[in-house]
Structure 1
Amino acid sequence: MSGDKGLNFLGLQAKYRRLFDESAAWRMLRADNAPYILAFIAELFSEESEVPYGRARILLDAEIERSRELGIWQTESSAATYLNQWIKYGWLREMDDSLTKTDASEIALRFCKGLDERHSGTTASHLRIVQEAVRDLAVAISPNVDEKVTLLESKKAEIQREIESLQAGVVPVLSESEQRERIRQIYQLASVLTGDFRRVEDEIRILDKELRIQIIEGDISRGDVLLSVMEREALLSTTEAGSAFEGFYQLLCDQNRAMEFREQLRSILSRPIGQQLSSSQHQFLSHLMRELSRESERVFRVRRRSEEGLRSYIESGAAAENQAVDRLLSKLERQALLLRDGDLDLMTETELSLPVGPIEIKSPESMRLRSPDDKLDTSGVEENANKREPSTSMLNCLDAVQVRQVANKVLNALKKHGPMSIARLAEENPLKSGLEELVAYLRVAKAVNATMLDEKEEVILVDKQGVKLKAFIPTYLLTAELFPKDIDELAL
């Protein structure tokens, strides 16, 4: 028995040693300036999940300067140096000149927050969650129909007893400690969701990297690459993080479930139980659906970027060029081994020739990329005197679509009908000003960070001359909760 324990100890220490060396979250926690890194990242993303790189650099420079003056962080490195290091170490992610947290930084921050927010009274809440999970699982996996019916009947009887008690005037009231315990449990479970989304991002990037390596290492056809992408995409949805994302995506697309979830959250937070949370926790839960919508949009964006990058990589011929270079280097290595095995002097001249292709640039003149632009011909231009009164054609040009009016119209429609796409909005309020009005709708969707889905949708519109047009645009899912309280705050 002691021998088995010894083997178990060796296996565990080997695993923890690997995590100690490879885990980005662990490396972050044991960094020399970990308190400063964690404090800055927590503060930087306290209100936003995505921050422009330039703003983050300015804020970090100010914090470094203040820390130098106080004598608590003596460093000569610039903010840009630190940010680039943190991106390299996997603690931050940069895309389109914006920074987001990674799964590693989420884990590290959650660990530190857990140390500071430990509560002893969570046993009952945990037990209730475990009991409900065990009962649901027992029903789901039971192969016996009679057993399934019995379990569901038991659950039905329990619900019926609660209904009868309420009808008899017996209303159970949770104690203050039970209320505090349950709402904090909701916050803890909800805060893990963003970490799940970060893991989906990481898994998409790993998938992209593995496919590129597969393309470089072997003679893989475009069809094989497409099949591999499809297989891995299917596998991605079966992971824990992927299933969490798919579950939220289904919730987002189900108008009734999403509305019910949002209203229930709002109801809970408006009651005295909401005072059991800190201001930051209260704010997080009140904006949970909006935050998760933005997180899902980023996952879709990363997935689209990965797919577009792979397609461009294959179509550009870069993969074939890499394979040709690899074959050429392999041939050179084989020739070098033959020379070594033949005991030849290193200075021996050979007639070895490698098909590297001709050198096409023979002189500076041949390097010229294009001719200068032709001189602008102004011979047919007529000079007109300026007028104080605008012409009719000019006034017609000024009859433009007011984007802010479109935003108000969209918000009113969403409040009345619930989440909708631009095509559904166009059905409710037909577009009569042509492409300019459609662009206004797209600007509103981008301004509120609406979730962009994978598929495209068809929009029918009419221009000012009455010509009917058909346009195919990305599908944006808009909800009223994405809009700020003051619509003038939108950057339109």
Structure 2
Amino acid sequence: MTAQKTIASYRRMRQQPLWRLLAADNGPVIIGLLQTLLYEKERSLPASLLIERLDRELEELRNRGDDFPQTAQAYIAGWLRDGYLERRYPSGSSEEEYELSTASVDAIRFLQGQIKPHSAATESRLSLVIQSLVGLAEETDRDKYRRIDHLIAEQERIEQEIESIQQGRMKVLPRPVAVERTREIIALAEDLTGDFRRVRDQFEQLNRELRECIMDSDGHRGDVLDSLFAGIDLIAESDAGRSFSAFWRLLTDPEQSATLEEALDSVLSRGFVGELQFEERRFLLRLTRNLLEQGGSVHEVLQTFARSLKHFVQSREFLEQRRINQLLQKAQQAALLLKEEVKATEDLHYILELTSCRLRSFSQLVLHDPSLQAEAEPMGDGEAAPIDLDTVSELVAQSEIDFRSLKADILACLENCTQVTIAEVLRSFPASQGLGSVVGLLALASRHGMDGKETEQVVWTGDDGVTRAAQIPKYYFLKEQCDGLQ
């Protein structure tokens, strides 16, 4: 890479949140607050709790003479705008939640690495490199004879080590080496948990790119639309999606999880663990849970994006969005054509009505009292809601109905009579699936019954124990035409 390209890359990076955070005038304070609030303990907080805790921290800073004139809400809004925070709306939550962006996490980890740097070259890191290279060389070797020789040599080494242990010659890592290797494992695990955020960012970027591709494709359906209509999950089938899915399967594999838990318990029971710092021991103790929590969050994001993209296409929402984009483009093109004819300072003699809302105090609001609008006469029972065949077709397509049991109920009724209606079948055999049974009987009647050109009322009891009724077309199941129900 030439010097010009390197300089251009660094200039682009200079505008990214990571570099701007590290180079900010009050960067040490911002990073310290973000680390305390959203890194050391909780990794995400509801808005109200984050504001409350930030208020306390700002008050302490002001008492020490630091100048922080804005409110906690203003600082949070600024950090969100600058890319230091991310805001999400969890399903079922009453308020938004905040967490650190990938850039903020990288900045905190970079500074922590400067405060407690690794040794220039440690035995454990060199051993890890050697073992990885040896394993890679062996597992990519296509020469079967050479691989067999390696396995035989490994077998002989294991047998010699077993014999040495049986004779009382056991090699145990010295405490300093064991502590050093444990800290290297912790560093690798911390890098792994940090990778989850970058994977999630990749999914978000991929989701935006796929939507932009759908919006930009004009007229004919493009490759993205064809794939989505064919049922292909493009996000899960992407390189990032396949890589994370493989990692997630490994992480949630019962055998691997049991092996990891057993190894952690064994390490934590060793005497050298007492030389680790409290934060390091706590990290090891919570390693499995942290990996599952972070991985589960990314897995949920992956599934959410896949479902939302599929719904965006199948519900035809993209057509409306594309139409809006086209209207905006036409408006921009028209404005460009008029730019030479209409000056920016020229009066257009046009009044644009801006949308607004009327602000009132909560004390001015009056609670609604339904009794004030209640009618004097008692409320009567309403008519049963009608169910037509179009509604039945839609419900059948979306439901799992036990048609085998319904056919058996119809045949049982026809054993004692020559014809029977849906209402009579339900009186003899109450709807076991509630509305689903009614819909199933209507579907069978439309194919195997005779239209009575009338309507009838059916009654059923739902899973909630409430009795309901509906007005449906009247169909007759005939005994001489019941062969299709066999």
Normalised by the size of structure 2, how large is the TM-score? 0.63
Which structure has more RCO (C-alpha within 8 Å, separation ≥ 6)?
1
TM-superposed CA distance for 1:252, in Å, is 3.6
Aligned partners of 1:248 and 1:69: how far apart in 2? 48
1:211–1:225 Cα contact (<8 Å) kept: no
For the residue of structure 2 that corresponds to 1:174, the secondary structure is coil
Aligned partners of 1:228 and 1:206: how far apart in 2? 21
Aligned partners of 2:268 and 2:187: how far apart in 1? 15
The residue type paired with residue 142 of structure 1 is D
The residue type paired with residue 150 of structure 1 is D
The match for 2:134 is 135
Aligned partners of 2:191 and 2:228: how far apart in 1? 34
TM-superposed CA distance for 1:189, in Å, is 0.8
Aligned partners of 1:42 and 1:168: how far apart in 2? 52
Matched, 1:235 2:238: yes
Matched, 1:56 2:50: yes
The match for 1:25 is 18
For the residue of structure 2 that corresponds to 1:142, the secondary structure is coil
The residue type paired with residue 290 of structure 1 is R
TM-superposed CA distance for 1:224, in Å, is 4.0
TM-superposed CA distance for 1:330, in Å, is 4.5
The match for 1:431 is none
TM-superposed CA distance for 1:82, in Å, is 1.9
The match for 2:410 is none
Aligned partners of 2:315 and 2:30: how far apart in 1? 40
Percent of pairs with identical residues? 30
The match for 1:209 is 208
Cα displacement string for residues 89-147 of structure 1 (whole angstroms, at most 9, x for unaligned residues):
33222212222233222211111111122242752111110111011111222222222
The match for 1:483 is none
Matched, 1:16 2:10: yes
TM-superposed CA distance for 1:321, in Å, is 2.6
The residue type paired with residue 275 of structure 2 is Q
Matched, 1:180 2:179: yes
Correspondence list, 1:183-202, <5 A: 183-202=182-201
CA distance 1:8–1:58, shift in 2 (3 Å) = same
TM-superposed CA distance for 1:338, in Å, is 7.0
CA distance 1:12–1:159, shift in 2 (3 Å) = farther
Aligned partners of 1:38 and 1:210: how far apart in 2? 31
Aligned partners of 1:119 and 1:52: how far apart in 2? 35
Can you give the 5+ residue segments of structure 2 that lack an aligned partner in the other structure? Answer: 90-95, 344-368, 380-462, 466-486
2:13–2:19 Cα contact (<8 Å) kept: yes
Correspondence list, 1:456-471, <5 A: none
2:215–2:318 Cα contact (<8 Å) kept: yes
TM-superposed CA distance for 1:247, in Å, is 5.0
Aligned partners of 2:119 and 2:334: how far apart in 1? 71
The match for 1:86 is 79
TM-superposed CA distance for 1:294, in Å, is 1.3
The match for 1:125 is 124
CA distance 1:94–1:153, shift in 2 (3 Å) = farther
CA distance 1:295–1:159, shift in 2 (3 Å) = same
For the residue of structure 2 that corresponds to 1:233, the secondary structure is coil
Cα displacement string for residues 351-370 of structure 1 (whole angstroms, at most 9, x for unaligned residues):
xxxxxxxxxxxxxxxxxxxx
2:196–2:298 Cα contact (<8 Å) kept: yes
Can you give the 5+ residue segments of structure 1 that lack an aligned partner in the other structure? Answer: 1-6, 348-371, 382-462, 466-492
1:92–1:102 Cα contact (<8 Å) kept: yes
- The aligned length equals 345
Deviates more, 1:221-230 or 1:131-140: 221-230
For the residue of structure 2 that corresponds to 1:230, the secondary structure is coil
Aligned partners of 1:258 and 1:67: how far apart in 2? 44
Find the structure with the greater CA-based Rg: 2
The match for 1:65 is 59
The residue type paired with residue 148 of structure 1 is R
The residue type paired with residue 277 of structure 2 is S
For the residue of structure 1 that corresponds to 2:173, the secondary structure is coil
The match for 1:388 is none
Cα displacement string for residues 379-415 of structure 1 (whole angstroms, at most 9, x for unaligned residues):
769xxxxxxxxxxxxxxxxxxxxxxxxxxxxxxxxxx
Aligned partners of 2:310 and 2:281: how far apart in 1? 43
Matched, 1:112 2:81: no
The match for 1:409 is none
The residue type paired with residue 6 of structure 2 is L
Aligned partners of 2:290 and 2:60: how far apart in 1? 31
The residue type paired with residue 19 of structure 2 is W
Deviates more, 1:118-127 or 1:25-34: 118-127
1:92–1:101 Cα contact (<8 Å) kept: yes
Matched, 1:218 2:217: yes
1:208–1:310 Cα contact (<8 Å) kept: yes
Q: 1:43 aligns with which of 36, 45, 66?
A: 36
Cα displacement string for residues 57-112 of structure 1 (whole angstroms, at most 9, x for unaligned residues):
111111111101101x3121221222222223332222122222332222111111
CA distance 1:114–1:145, shift in 2 (3 Å) = same
TM-superposed CA distance for 1:323, in Å, is 2.2
For the residue of structure 2 that corresponds to 1:93, the secondary structure is strand
TM-superposed CA distance for 1:322, in Å, is 3.1
Aligned partners of 1:77 and 1:328: how far apart in 2? 41
Aligned partners of 1:114 and 1:346: how far apart in 2? 59
TM-superposed CA distance for 1:282, in Å, is 0.9
Aligned partners of 1:66 and 1:162: how far apart in 2? 60
CA distance 1:77–1:311, shift in 2 (3 Å) = farther
1:187–1:281 Cα contact (<8 Å) kept: yes
1:203–1:236 Cα contact (<8 Å) kept: no
CA distance 1:123–1:189, shift in 2 (3 Å) = same
For the residue of structure 1 that corresponds to 2:70, the secondary structure is coil
The match for 1:352 is none
2:84–2:101 Cα contact (<8 Å) kept: yes
1:216–1:322 Cα contact (<8 Å) kept: yes
Cα displacement string for residues 445-477 of structure 1 (whole angstroms, at most 9, x for unaligned residues):
xxxxxxxxxxxxxxxxxx999xxxxxxxxxxxx
